[in-house]
Amino acid sequence: MTLLVLRATHLFFMGLWVGAAMFLGGDVRRAVGAGPENLPQLRDRVFRSLRFNHISAAVTIVSGFALMMQLGPGSVAPTVHVSFVLSLVLAAFGVFGLGGSWRNLDRALKAGADEAVIDRLVLRFGVASASLKTLWALIFALMVFRHVLG
């Protein structure tokens, strides 16, 4: 029963982790392009999305670690261990990469920075968002095909 609850928790929060920031890059690009009247709502959406993303990441990582301990580290496929380490990297990148990109962009928006600077920061945020999705896809592939690859 414990194993089933851990797996369900892990899969549920993994889906929330991916979903919380799935459309964030495009949302930021469209809202910034639409004008300054959209910025208060954008700040609120991004803040909530990033906070939800970080919480979901923490629960996913903790439940994944608990699953590995429950099954026994020696009985888990090597790709699961690799995925676990990549998940830690992904979480750190989410906090410092995507979160840092947003902080820089938000600061520039509040200061009324030049349009070229804003465009560059929006692009950087979009690249950080796309990088997260690429790493998520890699981790997902490693987990799904763990018996084939490991």
Q: What percent of the chain has pLDDT over 90?
A: 77
Q: Can you give the residue range of the structural domain that contains 93? A: 2-149
Return the pLDDT at 20: 86
Residue 41 burial (CB count, 10 A): 10
- Close Cβ partners of 81 (under 8 Å, ≥ 6 residues apart): 68, 73
Q: Are 75 and 144 in contact (CB under 8 A)?
A: no
User: Residue 28 sits in a domain of what CATH number?
Assistant: 1.20.120.1730
Mean pLDDT of 31-51: 93
**96-144 per-position pLDDT tens digit:** 999 999 999 999 999 988 999 999 999 999 999 999 999 999 998 988 8
Percent of the chain with pLDDT over 70: 99
Cα separation, 89 vs 136, in Å, equals 11
What pLDDT does residue 150 have? 53
What's the confidence (pLDDT) of residue 21?
A: 86
Q: pLDDT tier at 149 (50, 70, 90 boundaries)?
A: low
Report whether 51 contacts 99 (CB < 8 A): no
- Structure token pair of residue 118: 């804003």
Q: Report the predicted TM-score, pTM, of the whole model to 2 decimal places.
A: 0.87
Q: What is the number of structural domains in the chain?
A: 1
Do 91 and 57 form a contact (C-beta atoms < 8 A)? yes
